[in-house]
Amino acid sequence: MLRVIGKRLALLVPTLFGLSILLFLWVRNLPGGPATALLGEKATPEAVARINELYGFDRPLITQYLTYMGKLLQGDFGVSINTGRPVLEEFATRFPATVELTIIALIFAVGVGVPLGYLAARHNGRLIDHGSVVLSLIGITVPVFFLAFILKYLFAIQWSLLPPDGRQDPRMDATHYTQFYVLDGVLTGEYDAAWDAFLHLILPGIALGTIPLAIIVRITRASVLEVQNADYVRTARAKGLRESTIRGSFILRNAMLPVVTTIGLQLGLLISGAVLTETVFAFNGIGRFLRDAIFGLDYPVLQGFIIFIAVLYALINLIVDLSYSVIDPRVRVQ
């Protein structure tokens, strides 16, 4: 197993190397350039030239690339042009927020999606089945930002049940160590702060989790439908095994394989969905930061972020692959 992990990680190196070159060239060839973005209306040609010189944007591309890679290998992602802080530090403060949000979205999507898909398959052709199909269709087609807006309007503004934006009540004055606000609240014993942070996660979590939810419902339903008519299920029934054993150990377990793959793929999509959700809910995560970086042409942040996401994606896929062998021992990781 360790060998497999090592091999997979080694494969990451050429991938990242190729990616870094593509990225570098793409970013440098965007129109305008960061100097104009930095200076706005105040950009005179002299000022632009001066900024380019100071930031090294006027040097040959190969020199810029080598400098960049040299630093990257030392763990230096550079300094954000927009905020003047190290890129890595910016990620470190915001990434926990997005992870927190993603976990809630995933709990929502899996917690509701798997049972719903399972029930729909078991009661195939009945009301709950049709209902789940319609619901998942709606879930896939409604744009995230629109759903986020509606949720916020109804639950936060119209009925004042949940907070409209942010990660925590600004008057809370809570202590933060890990930047995972719910965890921080629990660790420091500030349970009201933890609860408040959790409440702030509900609406964005639902908005973000809806598309994965819809997909998980459909995959689970299809997979369970297929498995529950399989020969070994019939054999188990014929042997007189208890119905709960059949459902738990035979049907659900075997049906989970495609679902787990989907969850893994959805995790990556959740990050991109976070760009929209975090903007609507003024949630200080990596998604909103990335949006600002795109608008402000913040080269170091864009480059660092994409490499970061590539590594993350590769790791998630590795974990998904490894989990196959836990769910189904017949699957060997190679």
Partner 1 sequence: MSNRGTSVRGAGFVRKRAALTAGISIAALLLTGCVQSQREENTGAEGDSAVDSTFVFAASSDPKSLDPAFASDGESFRVSRQIFEGLIGVEPGTADPAPLLAESWETAEDGLSTVFQLKEGVTFHDGTPFNAEAVCFNFDRWYNWTGIQQAESTSYYYGSLFRGFADSPEKAIYESCEANGDNEVTINLAKPFAGFIPALSLPAFAMQSPTALEKYSADEIGGTSEAPSLSEYALGHPVGTGPFKFDSWDVGQQLEISIYDDYWGEKGQITKTIFRIIDDPQARRQALEAGDIDGYDLVAPADTQSLKDAGYNITPRDPFTILYLGMNQAVPELEDPKVREAIAHAIDKDALVAQTLPEGTKVATQFIPDVVDGYNEDVTTYDFDPARAKELLAEAGYPDGFEVTFNYPTNVSRPYMPTPEQVFTNLQAQLSDVGITVKPAPAAWSPDYLNQIQATPDHGLHLLGWTGDYNDTDNFIGVFFGQEKLEFGFDNPELFKALDDARAVSDRDEQTELYKEINEQIAEYNPAIPLAHPAPSLAFAKRVTSYPASPVNDEVFTEIELSE
Query: Which residues, 240 to 259, sit near partner 1 by CB under 8 A?
Result: 249-250, 253
Candidates 21-29, 99-107, 216-224, 283-291: pick the segment binding partner 1 (CB under 8 A): 283-291
Q: Does 40 bind partner 1 (CB under 8 A)?
A: yes
Q: Which is nearer to partner 1, 15 or 63 (CB)?
A: 63
Q: Does 279 bind partner 1 (CB under 8 A)?
A: yes
Q: Which is nearer to partner 1, 90 or 321 (CB)?
A: 90
Q: Does 330 bind partner 1 (CB under 8 A)?
A: yes
Cα-based distances in Å from 78 to 14, 68, 182: 22, 8, 30
Q: Of 318, 308, 297, 267, which is closest to residue 92 (Cα–Cα)?
A: 308
Query: Which residues, 202 to 231, sit near partner 1 by CB under 8 A?
Result: none
Identify any residues that bridge with 86 across adjacent strands, giving them in sequence order. Answer: 79
Cα-based distances in Å from 208 to 131, 219, 224, 319: 21, 18, 25, 22
Q: Does 188 bind partner 1 (CB under 8 A)?
A: yes
* Binding footprint of partner 1, residue count (CB under 8 A): 77
Choice from 297, 298, 304, 323 touching partner 1 (CB under 8 A): 297
Closest contact distance (angstroms) between CB of 194 and partner 1 is 12
Q: Which is nearer to partner 1, 45 or 75 (CB)?
A: 45
Q: Does 190 bind partner 1 (CB under 8 A)?
A: yes
| Alpha helices (H) in 142-252, listed in sequence order | 144-151, 181-188, 191-228, 231-238, 243-245
Q: Which is nearer to partner 1, 14 or 329 (CB)?
A: 329
Alpha-carbon span 165 to 284, nearest angstrom? 10
Candidates 46-54, 113-121, 219-227, 311-319: pick the segment binding partner 1 (CB under 8 A): 46-54
Candidates 99-107, 261-269, 279-287, 304-312: pick the segment binding partner 1 (CB under 8 A): 279-287
Q: Which is nearer to partner 1, 176 or 218 (CB)?
A: 176
Q: Which is nearer to partner 1, 136 or 284 (CB)?
A: 284
Alpha-carbon span 139 to 194, nearest angstrom? 29
Q: Binding string, 90-109, against partner 1, x = CB under 8 A?
A: x--xx---------------
Q: Of 99, 94, 104, which is closest to residue 198 (Cα–Cα)?
A: 104
Q: Which is nearer to partner 1, 110 or 193 (CB)?
A: 193
Closest contact distance (angstroms) between CB of 132 and partner 1 is 28
Choice from 228, 300, 301, 304 touching partner 1 (CB under 8 A): 300
Alpha-carbon span 169 to 196, nearest angstrom? 7
Residue 215 burial class via C-beta count within 10 angstroms: exposed 0-12, middle 13-18, buried 19 and up: buried
Query: Which residues, 154 to 173, sit near partner 1 by CB under 8 A?
Result: 156-157, 160, 163-167, 170-171, 173
Q: Which is nearer to partner 1, 73 or 326 (CB)?
A: 326
CB neighbours of 278 closer than 8 A, spacing ≥ 6?
Answer: 98, 101, 204, 284, 285, 286, 287, 288, 291
- End-to-end CA distance of the chain: give it in Å, rounded: 9
Residue 127 token pair: 């009301």
Give residue 59's identity as a one-letter amino acid code: R
Choice from 101, 116, 182, 193 touching partner 1 (CB under 8 A): 193
Question: 139 with 213: CB under 8 angstroms?
Answer: yes
Closest contact distance (angstroms) between CB of 18 and partner 1 is 24
Backbone angles phi, psi at 302, to 5 degrees: -60, -45
